Amino acid sequence: MSNIVPVTEETFAQAGKILAVHLSYSSRAAQRGRTPKFPSYFMKATSSLAASGSTVERPAGTELLAFEGEIALIIGKTARRVSVEDAWSYVGSVTASNDLGVHDMKYADKGSNIRSKSGDGYTPMGPKALEAATLDPAKLRVQTWVNGKITQDADTSELLFSFATIVADLSQQMTLQPGDIILTGTPAGSTVFFPGDVVEVEVTDLVTGATTGKLKTTATEGTATFAAFGNQPKVTDKDKEDAYGDRETAGMAPILTGKDVLTDKVREQLASVATATLSATLRKRGLNNVNIEVPGATKGMQRVIGTARTLRYIPNREDLFKAHGAGYNMQKQSIDSLGDGEILVMEARGETGSATLGDILALRSQQLGAAGIISDGGVRDLDAVSGLDIPVFYNGAHPAVLGRKHVAWDKDITVACGGVSVQPGDVIVADSDGIVVIPPAMVEQVAAEAMVTESNDEFIFAMVKRGHGIEGLFPMNAEWKTKYNAWKDAGSPDLDSWSL
pLDDT in tens, 207-227: 999 999 999 999 999 999 999
- List, as one string, the DSSP characters of 124-192: EEEEEEEEGGG--TTSEEEEEEETTEEEEEEEGGGBSS-HHHHHHHHHTTSPBPTT-EEE----TT--B
- Distance, in Å, from the CA atom of 250 to the CA atom of 194, rounded to the nearest integer, reads 14
Smallest Cα–Cα separation from 283: which of 294, 291, 295, 293?
A: 291
pLDDT in tens, 479-489: 898 988 888 88
pLDDT above 50 for 399: yes
| pLDDT score recorded for residue 7 | 95
- Distance, in Å, from the CA atom of 311 to the CA atom of 391, rounded to the nearest integer, reads 17
Average pLDDT of the residues in 233-249: 91
Residue-range domain boundaries for the chain: 4-244, 288-438, 447-489
**What is the pLDDT confidence band of residue 32, given thresholds at 50, 70 and 90?**
confident
pLDDT above 90 for 258: no
Give yes or no for a contact between 91 and 163, defined as CB atoms under 8 angstroms apart.
Answer: yes
| pLDDT score recorded for residue 271 | 94
Among 108-122, 439-453, 480-494, whose mean pLDDT is lowest? 480-494
The more confidently predicted of residues 3 and 364 is: 364
- Distance, in Å, from the CA atom of 448 to the CA atom of 440, rounded to the nearest integer, reads 14
Average pLDDT of the residues in 217-243: 93
Smallest Cα–Cα separation from 27: which of 146, 186, 238, 254?
A: 186
pLDDT above 70 for 404: yes
**What is the pLDDT confidence band of residue 73, given thresholds at 50, 70 and 90?**
very high
Give yes or no for a contact between 24 and 166, defined as CB atoms under 8 angstroms apart.
Answer: yes
- Distance, in Å, from the CA atom of 370 to the CA atom of 388, rounded to the nearest integer, reads 12
| pLDDT score recorded for residue 345 | 98
Which 3-state string (H, E, C) describes 162-176?
Answer: CHHHHHHHHHCCCCE
Instruction: Count Cα atoms within 13 angstroms, Cβ side, for 429.
Output: 26
CA Rg value for the chain: 30
Give yes or no for a contact between 233 and 72, defined as CB atoms under 8 angstroms apart.
Answer: no
pLDDT above 70 for 316: yes
The more confidently predicted of residues 102 and 456 is: 102
Query: Average per-residue pLDDT in the chain?
Result: 94
Q: Helix 443-465 and helix 264-272: axis angle, to 10°?
A: 30
pLDDT above 60 for 470: yes
pLDDT in tens, 421-440: 999 999 999 999 999 999 99
| pLDDT score recorded for residue 1 | 44
The two most distant CA atoms of the chain are separated, in Å, by 99
Smallest Cα–Cα separation from 280: which of 472, 456, 424?
A: 456
Smallest Cα–Cα separation from 94: which of 131, 125, 122, 139?
A: 131
Smallest Cα–Cα separation from 421: which of 291, 324, 330?
A: 291
- List, as one string, the DSSP characters of 212-232: ---EEEEEEE--PPPPTTSPP
| pLDDT score recorded for residue 130 | 97
**What is the pLDDT confidence band of residue 81, given thresholds at 50, 70 and 90?**
very high
| pLDDT score recorded for residue 232 | 95
Average pLDDT of the residues in 12-38: 92
- Distance, in Å, from the CA atom of 158 to the CA atom of 153, rounded to the nearest integer, reads 11
pLDDT above 50 for 473: yes
| pLDDT score recorded for residue 401 | 83
Q: How many angstroms from the chain centroid is the CA of residue 437?
A: 21
**Topology given in CATH for the domain delimited by 288-438:** Glucose Oxidase; domain 1 (3.50.30)
Give yes or no for a contact between 103 and 191, defined as CB atoms under 8 angstroms apart.
Answer: no
Smallest Cα–Cα separation from 43: which of 10, 8, 15?
A: 15
Strand partners, 407: 314
In CATH, what is the architecture of 4-244? Alpha-Beta Complex (3.90)
Average pLDDT of the residues in 351-372: 96
**What is the pLDDT confidence band of residue 2, given thresholds at 50, 70 and 90?**
low
Give yes or no for a contact between 173 and 79, defined as CB atoms under 8 angstroms apart.
Answer: no
**What is the pLDDT confidence band of residue 490, given thresholds at 50, 70 and 90?**
confident
| pLDDT score recorded for residue 180 | 98
Average pLDDT of the residues in 473-479: 89
Among 138-142, 316-320, 384-388, 401-405, whose mean pLDDT is lowest? 401-405
Return phi, psi of residue 239, to 5°: -60, -45
Instruction: Give 35's contacts (C-beta < 8 A, 6+ positions apart).
Output: 23, 26, 29, 160
| pLDDT score recorded for residue 435 | 97
